[in-house]
Structure 1
Amino acid sequence: MKLVVGTFITLDGVMQAPGAPEEDRSGGFAHGGWLVPWFDERMGELAAGWSEAADALLLGRRTYEIFAAHWPHVGDEDPIAAKLNRVRKYVASRTLDVLDWDNSVLLRGDVAAEVARLKQQPGGELQVTGSGELVQTLLRHDLVDEFRLWVFPLVLGRGKRLFADGALPAALTLTDTIMTSTGVAIHLYRRAGKPAYGSFALEQPSPAEIERRRSIEASVRS
């Protein structure tokens, strides 16, 4: 299966509590529900279509609890609820013992190894939604194949971020961009190997550049 991370983020990369104030107040986060004013019909259509493409979900403990308290009570006349309620859900948690949401499976032990095993199974998309701490583990172990980044035109200045310290350097290829009526840009990326590097420096450094480099080296040594 292909592992796809779909995430709502602000321009400064915050992904915490997009759907409601009470979703995740950890760290004193007071901006929960920031997504809602930007939601339009097109976003609903895209979310439903991509949900239908999931062969399985991979969720962290907090996102699982949010989803399990919401989607089973929406009713299967909603296409997203119908899909999420019937699809297999793999949950990474060190604290949960029982999963009450139908068709949910608890991942125990080494999460990275378990996810790598899941990716070897036949199928289409193994989708991750939210699950910020789990995504950090996936990034550290280079397990993400594609990103669907819903980028909202606002800055919050604090909160849990998608690409936190510890993510492995990686190059990505932009495969599509979709704009909504409210200015949300949805960027689709796939893995493209390791980053490439270069330099705009002069082939023969100027005296000022040589002195600048000496100054940097001196400050590092000190």
Structure 2
Amino acid sequence: MAQLTLTAFMTLDGVMQAPGGPEEDRSDGFTYGGWSVPFADEEFGRFVDEMFERVDAFLLGRRTYEIFAAYWPKVTDENDPVAGRLNTLPKYVVTRTLDRADWHNTTLVTGDLVEEVTRLKQRPGREIQVHGSARLAQSLIRHGLLDELNLLVHPVFLGAGRRLFPDGGTPTAFALTGHRTTSTGITIQTYRPTGPAQFGTFALDR
């Protein structure tokens, strides 16, 4: 049974919109695209390479799919750890607007999200990875469908932009299963859900 994992580049205030460039996603008037680029270093690159070594398929939102499909097919080095997998492995795109997808080995997911994702996870394999895809990620969190979250928190505050965590959903506790810090201050935190959130009080004993 495959594990569904999410990798998200985030700012200190939780923004994950357009980390890779100014033109990546200007929706809702967002003008701070490319905020992740100044923090990229060797440790960041090593983590990305390690992550892509574990993937057997990708689950993407429509906007992220279009960004990836416009860029990665142009990287033709089969030994590139990112391009080699994105260009060949199965890609499932959650969409209500696309009626075709030309990138090799791409399937459109247009039915009920919970049913479709549950079906994908029941297939044999290691990881089905979600990258970016903010709206899809929010829905997966809301429905408790993720098995692991990799949060790459960058030391920058933007004050605007689409954030990762949604309002609503079931309060859930997570275990920190891995962490590292890069030379530029990115904290890479890996979490796995452990069950319902627990609550208590710091009231003094009487």
Give the shorter-chain TM-score range. over 0.9
Counterpart of 2:182 (choices 180, 183, 187) is 180
- Separation (CA, whole Å) in 2 of partners of 1:171 and 1:154: 26
Aligned letter for 1:141? H
- Separation (CA, whole Å) in 2 of partners of 1:87 and 1:178: 28
Cα distance, 1:148 vs structure 2: 0.4
Counterpart of 1:159 (choices 158, 161, 168) is 161
- Separation (CA, whole Å) in 2 of partners of 1:55 and 1:78: 16
Secondary structure (helix, strand or coil) at the match of 1:70 reads helix
Aligned letter for 2:85? K
* Structure holding more helix per residue: 1
Q: Partner residue of 1:171?
A: 173
> Which segment is superposed worse, 39-48 or 95-104?
39-48
Q: Is structure 2 residue 34 aligned with structure 1 residue 51?
A: no
Q: Partner residue of 2:11?
A: 10
Task: Give 4+ residue runs of structure 1 displaced > 4 Å after superposition.
Answer: none
Q: Retained in 1: the 8 A contact 2:170–2:196? A: no
- Separation (CA, whole Å) in 2 of partners of 1:20 and 1:176: 28
Q: Retained in 1: the 8 A contact 2:155–2:186? A: yes
Aligned letter for 2:145? L
Secondary structure (helix, strand or coil) at the match of 2:91 reads strand
Structure 1: 5+ residue runs without aligned partners? 205-222
Q: Give the TM-score, by structure 1 length.
A: 0.89
Counterpart of 1:149 (choices 148, 151, 158) is 151
Q: 1:1-222 counterparts in 2 under 5 A?
A: 1-76=2-77, 77-203=79-205
Q: CA RMSD in A?
A: 1.1
- Separation (CA, whole Å) in 1 of partners of 2:114 and 2:159: 30
Q: Retained in 2: the 8 A contact 1:171–1:195? A: yes
- Separation (CA, whole Å) in 1 of partners of 2:158 and 2:177: 27
Per-residue Cα deviation, 1:58-99 (whole angstroms, up to 9, x for no partner): 000000000000000012242211111111100000010111
Q: Give the TM-score, by structure 2 length.
A: 0.96
Structure 2: 5+ residue runs without aligned partners? none
Aligned letter for 1:32? G
Larger radius of gyration: 1
- Separation (CA, whole Å) in 2 of partners of 1:78 and 1:145: 27
Question: How many residues align structurally?
Answer: 204
- Separation (CA, whole Å) in 1 of partners of 2:185 and 2:61: 29
